[in-house]
Structure 1
């Protein structure tokens, strides 16, 4: 019986790369994203590569939406074996200074990178623990390791997510359920962020150089994180 990968926050960068990599191993893919049209388009692309997939539109910044979409995926595919939370914010949502950071600027980053991962975990972990098998994967950036004031609000949210995943992994030890996070210090090929920065290079402060990596390469790193399970965090594109 095929296993199911659910990607929460499926996009053209990390989502596509991860779906293709797991799909090659026989995983069905639940494409979860805010836009129904985009989700259906991603499903069609995966189908063209022989990967079974289905679209599940949802706003992942709303707790009831996360709970609903989990029920819908389970109803369609039976169970979720691996969940990857890859939802990311827009460059327009960033707050470029820690000194002037307002609490309100944390609303979107916290909803995307802390609250939503917690809701996903609460919806999926009990069944995984009962089965004694499963994986909860998360995505992060460079700022939990390196201060990046031009991404002030997301840096705060990602640091909080890092603490959550570390504590989650410690509590899941011995249950058969794995929790891990990919810390991504690169621009992902074909991602929305890459397109925005290419069109508006002024968004990156002078002197800051960001390496690039294809979405396929990032998908491979997620596969290695998932299969090896020898670390809670895997850093890509920068030195930890």
Structure 2
């Protein structure tokens, strides 16, 4: 016999961006296990279809896949138009798609930096603004924006990435305050180093995507505006974000990331 929570999950439709691999794929596994209808979004169409096929085979999930580059102008609007054309009301939005770029800003491709910020920050803001109003009107729904522990302090050699995630964190906390009396759950989840294709470097204490997905599911049932994945990550964000000055945090991070970025 299904519980009320299971029945509610079965009626839900969730959109997950960056859903083909890594954290996004792990989140879709958790949602599919609850019977949630899924719309998977990612740039790599082949990987996306493979992920959708696994969810159908393993969970009997109802899954749609949309290959789309959200960093391009009009990408989020095209997703919203596709959802409207399919007659889908979105109950859960997980803004997980993201990109990283390791290296000094002075040696970076300006266009790649702009594309990173457009995806990590711009698409999150635009998709939230596109899909949130209907949730507020219905008095129910949820938005999960995947930030990063890098959001809590400057990160030399990951400057644009950390800054874009700082935007995600601040934006989400503000939207949480705007919507906390509407019945809509808005929360930022900040993973630290995680075993994903975007983060191939060897770092002690890396978390698994499944662990982050479990944190996301717990955060959906919580009340606060922001959650950090993992106790060690939570402690480090407290130290770097609260106890250290921005300059001290930047100097420590610079020493930590210099070898990975420059090989010195």
TM range (shorter): 0.7 to 0.9
For the Cα contact (< 8 Å) 1:63–1:119, is it kept in 2? no
Which residue of 38, 49, 55 corresponds with 2:47? 38
Instruction: Identify the residue that residue 133 of structure 1 maps to in structure 2.
Output: 140
2:72 maps to 1:62: yes
Are positions 1:2 and 2:11 aligned together?
yes
- Give the secondary structure class of the aligned counterpart of 2:89: coil
Point out where structure 1 has 5 or more consecutive residues left out of the alignment. Answer: 202-208
State the partner residue of 2:114: 107
Higher relative contact order (CA 8 A, sep 6+): 1
Structure 1 partner of 2:221: 227
Output the CA distance in 1 between the equivalents of 2:109 and 2:43.
Answer: 26
* 1:157 Cα deviation after fit: 1.4
- Would the alpha carbon gap of residues 54 and 105 (structure 1) be closer, same or farther in structure 2, given more than 3 Å must change? closer
Structure holding more strand per residue: 1
Return the alpha-carbon distance in structure 2 between the equivalents of residues 102 and 45 of structure 1: 36
For structure 2, which runs of at least 5 residues remain unmatched after alignment? 1-9, 239-264
Contact 1:9–1:60 (Cα < 8 Å) also in 2: no
Call closer, same or farther: CA 1:104–1:121 in 2, change over 3 Å. Answer: same
Q: TM-score, normalised by structure 1?
A: 0.84
Whole-angstrom distance in 2 between the partners of 1:77 and 1:48: 24
**1:83 and 2:77 correspond:** no
The 1-side partners of 2:112 and 2:44 are apart by 24
> In the alignment, is residue 193 of structure 1 matched against residue 187 of structure 2?
no
CA-based RMSD: 2.2
Contact 1:74-1:80 at 8 Å conserved across structures: no
The answer for the alignment partner of 2:207 in structure 1 is: 213
Normalised by the length of structure 2, the TM-score is 0.77
Question: Residues of 2 paired with 1:37 and 1:151: CA distance?
Answer: 29
Over residues 62-115 of structure 1, what are the superposed CA-to-partner deviations in whole Å (9 max), with x where a residue is unaligned?
34221122232344362110000111114xx33x34687897664123211211
For 1:40 and 1:103, the matched residues in 2 are separated by: 32
Structure number with bigger Rg = 2
Deviation, structure 1 residue 160: 1.8
Query: Structure 1 pair 30/59, CA: closer, same or farther in 2 (3 Å)?
Result: same
* 1:175-222 deviations in Å (ceiling 9; x for gaps): 11111111111213xx2124x33xxx5xxxxxxx44222222221111
Select the residue among 183, 192, 198 that pairs with 2:190. 183
